[in-house]
Structure 1
């Protein structure tokens, strides 16, 4: 029935109109509230808008909550439990060092300068870095330490410890993770960090690495020094044999010449010839004086002449023995003697003496070079000089629990957010 028909005359219906007006206001408020609720979108977790969630909306809400648990909550919780319950503390020993060579000569220093210009020190640092991470370093350290025991202390940290049945290849791969070494290519400075489960073991291994690396660097230079020493020793042996041959050759030449010293023999011959000439001059004076008083055929004159002739022949023999020529510079007419003159023998002996002198000089030079090479081979050439000595760690710096948890939290949240966003897009597209 219409409302206006129900309204009584004005005198008796005032209460009834007031109730109708209040009722109409309540209906209007309720309609506005429902309209606002219908216009406002619901959260994604509730399945979207609408007055009543459908079954698919409930499944979508369950998917969002389940993905949040699986992708974000559980991984973050597991990582936190591992880091704060099972993860073992690891200690880092850091050291910094450089490579320096020992005493050098001027040429060696110039060579080192050219090496420095060409990056010699940085190359040494790179060689050391590769050696530290190699199996050769593991073999050297294994002679001092039980590396498998050091890296498997039984802390229960399955992920950080080395497995007890690890092979040498596994140990090498694990070692590359436990030691970090970097080289400044401009200065050649080396920074090394060693990480173990004990501060004492980290310090001990760091010191052993530096000592073994220094031995390795010296072996590289020692090879060149050994080659130089072997070459110098071979040169000494060759020059010694040559000296012996020249000594024997001079001895044979002296035996063949029949003299020991040419100068002494020449001086003796010269003294004899001078004495004979003096005697010949006196004899000729006597002959001149005697022929003035007696006949030239007198026995005294003949005797003196024979004596003078004998002296001349003797002088000629000595002059021939000395130079092969007479005082006038002409060859002697007597060619019957096949014996070489003293001058000829002096040439041969002088040549042999010169060869001997050269051989002696070469032997002395080779011997001095050998001694220098020997002393160089005994001297340490390269040094690893730490300018930051490895120290005993006082607190654990690894694992970085705060950093790891933050990273896992952010990554897992981003993964969950990406998954939910993709699911919303798929849902909207299918709708």
Structure 2
């Protein structure tokens, strides 16, 4: 064998055969088996249909929410998801289980950034933006661990969608709830003011009380008129010295005094209107009653608006629909030893061949 052929043969063994042999030994003797669990889901938006639509069969139960699926796609790959799963399952120790596999196992003392990178290599995401379907292939070194991680991803994704739903509902109902709170506050103030008025005046309904007082006043005025008529008739038929005239005059004074007292209650006396006059009380009562009616109308309107906002919020309800529950693997799919060995063999062979061609090309020219 010529010297250059011997050198080529030795270089082949050194740069191709030995690396391929070491790689094959590691893959088949040291590399730990990896099990893959698959889970698939999509984000759905609940749509409430009218009874006519339900009977006619024109309504749909839900529709895909692509924007939420985009958010979920990014969330699954995020550091927040990794931290949540790590807190629930001790992810570092799960990925560090193979003690004799430094290539594929994870270093439990590594920082969170490296754990996130390792997570992205172990959790493959297949996302169809057109349909909003998301499917995951979750790998771990034992089948139960792969299933547990897949279930935890599904649970945390559902929590995220519920959080998005709560935020959307809060945005829809915030203004309506503020209006309702203000209407309730106005209604309480109006009722308290009316209650305070009744407690102060000791009158439940001034209108009814005024009607009673007016009846008394009309009766007194009628008695006064009858007494005047009787007095006039007596004066025409007798003299001023008649004791009955003095008695009737005294009766007129008493009735007139009582009428003045009753009229003063209504603020109709000639000495001005007092604070407790019925006219003042009635005006204040009507003012408070108008305020109460306005507050009640505002409350009913705000309540109707809030109910409408709640219905709109319900129509924006989102939920996570799993069309593929986490599967339990029975055999290891990874690492794909033959595929990796073939790729390594091809890679080192191409490098060796390229180096050999370069070497002989330079040698022939020199």
TM beyond 0.5? yes
Counterpart residue number, 1:89: 33
Q: Give the TM-score normalised by structure 1.
A: 0.65
Counterpart residue number, 1:275: 219
Q: What are the ranges of 5 or more consecutive residues in structure 1 without an aligned counterpart?
A: 1-45, 47-57, 107-115, 325-331
Counterpart residue number, 2:53: none
Counterpart residue number, 1:30: none
Shift of 1:159: 1.4
Shift of 1:413: 3.4
Larger radius of gyration: 1
Structure 1 position 422 matched with structure 2 position 358: yes
Greater relative contact order structure (CA < 8 Å, 6+ sep): 2
C-alpha distance 413-143 of structure 1, shift in aligned 2 (>3 A)? closer
Shift of 1:193: 1.3
C-alpha distance after superposition, 1:214-234 (max 9, x if no partner): 224434555677899999999
Q: Give the TM-score normalised by structure 2.
A: 0.74
C-alpha distance after superposition, 1:45-80 (max 9, x if no partner): x9xxxxxxxxxxx44333433333334333333333
- The match for 1:205 among 120, 141, 149 is 149
- The match for 2:162 among 209, 218, 234 is 218
What's the secondary structure of 1:99's corresponding residue? strand
Q: Is the 8 A contact 1:88 1:155 kept in 2?
A: no
What's the secondary structure of 1:97's corresponding residue? strand
Counterpart residue number, 2:57: none
CA distance in 2, matches of 1:128, 1:391: 20
Count matched residues. 352
C-alpha distance after superposition, 1:248-299 (max 9, x if no partner): 6445545665644211221111110221233234334434544554357644
Counterpart residue number, 1:181: 125
CA distance in 2, matches of 1:228, 1:382: 14
Structure 1 position 141 matched with structure 2 position 85: yes
CA distance in 2, matches of 1:161, 1:417: 32
Q: What are the ranges of 5 or more consecutive residues in structure 2 without an aligned counterpart?
A: 51-61
CA distance in 2, matches of 1:68, 1:397: 32
Shift of 1:208: 1.6
Counterpart residue number, 1:20: none
Shift of 1:393: 1.3
Shift of 1:391: 0.8
CA distance in 2, matches of 1:286, 1:243: 56
CA distance in 2, matches of 1:385, 1:412: 46
Counterpart residue number, 2:327: 391
Shift of 1:399: 1.8
Counterpart residue number, 1:125: 69
Structure 1 position 300 matched with structure 2 position 236: no
Q: Is the 8 A contact 1:122 1:183 kept in 2?
A: no
C-alpha distance after superposition, 1:83-117 (max 9, x if no partner): 333333211111111223568899xxxxxxxxx99
Q: Is the 8 A contact 2:267 2:274 kept in 1?
A: no
C-alpha distance 123-251 of structure 1, shift in aligned 2 (>3 A)? closer
**CA RMSD of superposed structures (Å):** 4.5
